[in-house]
Chain A
């Protein structure tokens, strides 16, 4: 099967899934190792490519006091790994009407007053599998700096590991998406060329051209296609 990782050497390693030992090939990701061990995954699996945030995983290595975090689909197993998935973590999310908000610190603090409770401990940053400096963007949130919060949180995949570790009980990723939406709608510079194009479409500027193209046979379409001028890079 195409997705089963081919193993260069056969030496198996022990890992512990929720405390139970399994022997798995050493080159597998945590996700594939769980499937190798016999799990049919329903929770804790989504895109399998590092984008959806479904497979947040916490693990320890035998003999090492540190707690590690990663995405199961992107992290390779190590001998003596003790792991548990956190596919869902309850987090507070405020509902709002984006069209009725003002892009200000007051909006942020009124919807998420707990922003101001952040202790700056950095447990969130340590847990982020995207290596985002969550503490830093929470500092921007406390200053009401929506632009910086939007920019520095941009690569967030909303896996929730930050919220799981937060002693101040913040839901950092929900705070961050509010800031990004406020920035995208209200603070980002307007695209005048887009507005002009919308007016042109509204007034039917392209209707005749498109009607003509739709009526063309394959041969004439091919002629026009070949004759297109290509905008230089």
Chain B
């Protein structure tokens, strides 16, 4: 039984009719000039009216989506008079965020001799890491090199990436694969031990390492398990997000105020160093897009770091993953991994025609899908009015042999089978979905920031990916910079002597807001999106 209604099945017949021919044909890739043209015409980042230049803080004038500006130009949870005299806990390194970046940082900080507390908003591991399917890049084959990886990253990012950060990313990559394997991660391998590696959008070599299509889940559960093995030295506190960073009298980090989500009680955790690994902000639903992100992705880290004076960058670009689920409605916007295209599935329009090279960098690919559905009117429209194009998944078994889809994409098969769609037999309807925050808090290659004692890792940061991230570089980023942040933070914590903690920056922030004439009811970080239905 097909989960697609008859109207959509009709279009599927056209896709089937052209499939055998298309297996041998690939739509040509775009030139740099063509890429620029389609981006400015169709990418959501180019809709000027949906952006706002922030009016307060050290990066005044930074453009960002209006939904993000709304939580940046907002009021803190606690006042400057919040009592810091009796901390609920004290530690060397406080890690904020329980995803892959935070877990990596906690492990390396502990190995470097620090006492560690990790606080997280939901459960430990409920993060975007666990949802990443496709894989992690590392140039470890003889045909490849960190230099080639470097060029792919910086070209994909429109040549705006920070060179030192890209160097760190590509140089640490093979080391991180080895580290993960030594922790017991199960990578996909040939019987002789050779890693099975595929292309991703914008790669010139096959360097996507995977663990079926549970790559991020496998990384997360392995790192989480290892953190739990070190419970004597790393305390994990769940359902306790940070709401404000704390400085000392000399402007150095002195910990954070956290809130118990279930009781609403605030408490101060005193720490010599903080690693901020809070992820991105997909749940702010920029331009009303659905998102692939987990429930807690509300840009908390950008808000927290900015209020203590850490500069921001690259927030004028957000990543829309080209292939979010467009049908069925129940899973709208959820990720259809790029690995599906990496394995050979082509995007095709309602008539079964190719219209774009399947593995352009993500921003270009997403813009091409939007153009096909809007200007060209070649999309399929569902009964609820959602447009989309077909991602022709059955091609994968034709190219690689029967059973490949089941073996390489079990999560995708399972997700669609729940709605009576067999992706080995029928294509998947897709449309771009809000996926990743390319920009964020500026960092240096050792994961430090302009604020002494504040270190960052992962999606909360900005500069590694320039204005567009390639597939497989975020699982890489969280581990590379998570490890660097943990190590640097531990060394820093071993040397610093804190002065008295205070929240003077909160008072200064409130004064600056008032001076800028910003009158708002929004209290941020908002911590969770509001999905409660109201009549």
Stretch of B121-129, B307-315, B364-372 contacting A (4+ beta carbons < 8 Å): B121-129
Contacting pair B295 A48 (CB below 8 A) = yes
The A-contacting residues of B in range 501-535, CB under 8 angstroms, are 528-533
Contacts of A193 in B (CB 8 A): 140-142, 194-195
Interface residue? A40 (CB, 8 A): yes
B148-168 interface code vs A (CB 8 A; 1 in, 0 out): 101110110001000110110
Q: Would you call B126 and A52 a contact (CB within 8 A)?
A: yes
User: Is B191's CB within 8 Å of the partner chain A?
Assistant: yes
Chain A hits for B195, CB < 8 A: 191, 193-194
A158 within 8 A of B: yes
A185 and B143 in contact, given A1-B285, A155-B214 (Cβ under 8 angstroms): no
B532 A35 Cβ-Cβ under 8 A: yes
Q: Are A177 and B126 in contact (CB under 8 A)?
A: no
A197 engages B174 (CB within 8 Å): yes
Q: How far is the CB of A108 from chain B (nearest CB, A)?
A: 14
Q: Does the CB pair A222–B123 fall under 8 Å?
A: no
List the B side residues contacting A97 at CB < 8 Å.
229
Q: Are B217 and A98 in contact (CB under 8 A)?
A: no
**Using a CB–CB distance below 8 Å, which chain A residues touch chain B?**
1-6, 8, 27-29, 32, 35-43, 45-52, 54, 74-76, 93, 95-99, 130-131, 150, 154-155, 157-158, 177, 180-185, 188-198, 201, 206, 209-210, 213-214, 218, 221-222, 224-226, 228-231, 233
Contact B294 A47 (CB under 8 A): yes
Known: A210-B167, A225-B155. Contact between A40 and B186, CB under 8 A? no
B288 within 8 A of A: yes
Q: Does B146 contact A (CB under 8 A)?
A: yes
> Given known contacts A96-B229, A201-B174, what 6 new A-B pairs fall within 8 Å (CB)?
A3-B290, A5-B330, A6-B385, A42-B239, A184-B181, A185-B182
Is there contact, CB below 8 Å, between B126 and A54?
yes
> Per-residue 0/1 for B256-297: is the Cβ within 8 Å of any A Cβ (1 yes, 0 no)?
000001100000000000000000000001001111101100
B139 and A225 form a contact (CB under 8 A): no
CB-based contact B174/A228 at 8 Å: no
Interface residues of B in 151-203 (CB under 8 A from A): 151-152, 154-155, 159, 163-164, 166-167, 170-171, 174-175, 177-178, 181-187, 189-195, 199
Contacts of B18 in A (CB 8 A): none
Which residues in A have their C-beta under 8 angstroms from that of B380? none
Q: How many A-B residue pairs have CB under 8 A?
A: 249
- Do B533 and A42 have beta carbons less than 8 Å apart? no
State how many angstroms separate the Cβ of A150 from the closest Cβ of chain B: 7
Closest 4 CB pairs of A and B: A181-B184, A189-B193, A46-B126, A225-B155
CA of A23 to CA of B383, assembled, Å:
23
The answer to whether A2 touches B288 (Cβ under 8 A) is yes
Q: Which residues of B contact A6 (CB under 8 A)?
A: 329, 384-385
Q: Considering only CB atoms, which chain B residue lies closest to A215 in the complex?
A: B163
Cβ A38 vs Cβ B532 within 8 A: yes
Given A28-B330, A154-B214, A206-B145, A201–B206 Cβ distance below 8 Å? Answer: no
- Shortest CB-to-CB span from B389 to chain A, Å, is 19
CB contacts (< 8 Å) of A158 on chain B: these are 221
Min CB gap A47→B, angstroms: 4
Q: State whether A93 and B228 are in contact (beta carbons under 8 Å apart), knowing that A2-B288, A181-B184, A181-B222 are contacts in the complex.
A: yes
Q: Does residue B212 face the partner (Cβ distance < 8 Å to A)?
A: yes
- Residue pairs across A and B with Cβ atoms less than 8 A apart, 5 shown, are A1-B288, A3-B529, A51-B130, A201-B174, A226-B32
B112 within 8 A of A: no
The CA of A168 and the CA of B393, in the complex, are separated in Å by: 42
Q: For residues 201 through 250 of chain B, which have their beta carbon under 8 Å from a beta carbon of chain A? A: 204-206, 211-212, 214, 216-218, 221-222, 225-226, 228-229, 231, 239
Asked if B335 is at the interface of the complex by the 8 Å CB criterion, the answer is yes
B contact residues around A185 at 8 Å (CB): 181-184
Q: How far is the CA of A76 from the CA of B195 in the complex (A)?
A: 38
Q: Using Cβ atoms and an 8 Å threshold, which residues of chain B touch A28?
A: 330
B414 within 8 A of A: yes
Q: Mark B110-148, 1 if CB is under 8 A from A, else 0.
A: 000000000000110111101100000001111101111
A155 touches B212 (CB 8 A): yes
Cβ-defined contact, A177 with B285, below 8 A: no
Check B285–A206 contact: CB distance below 8 A.
Answer: no
Determine the distance from Cα of A207 to Cα of B434 in the docked complex, in whole angstroms: 36
**Residue of B at shortest CB range from A230?**
B204
| Inter-subunit contact B418/A74 (CB<8 Å) | yes
Contacts A181-B222, A189-B191; is A231 near B295 (CB within 8 Å)? no
Any chain A CB within 8 A of the CB of B462? no
**By the criterion CB–CB under 8 Å, are A177 and B151 in contact?**
no
B10 to chain A, nearest CB (A): 19
- Complex-state Cα separation, A49 to B416, whole angstroms: 12
CB distance from B269 to the nearest CB of A (A): 20
Q: Which residue of B130, B290, B330 is within 8 Å of A76 (Cβ)?
A: B330
Complex contacts, B147 vs chain A, CB 8 Å: 206, 209-210, 213
Checking B122, B159, B329, B384 against A218 with a beta-carbon cut-off of 8 angstroms, the contacting residue is B159
**Is there contact, CB below 8 Å, between A29 and B330?**
yes
Residue interface bits B390-417, CB-to-A below 8 A is 1, else 0: 0000000000000000000011001100
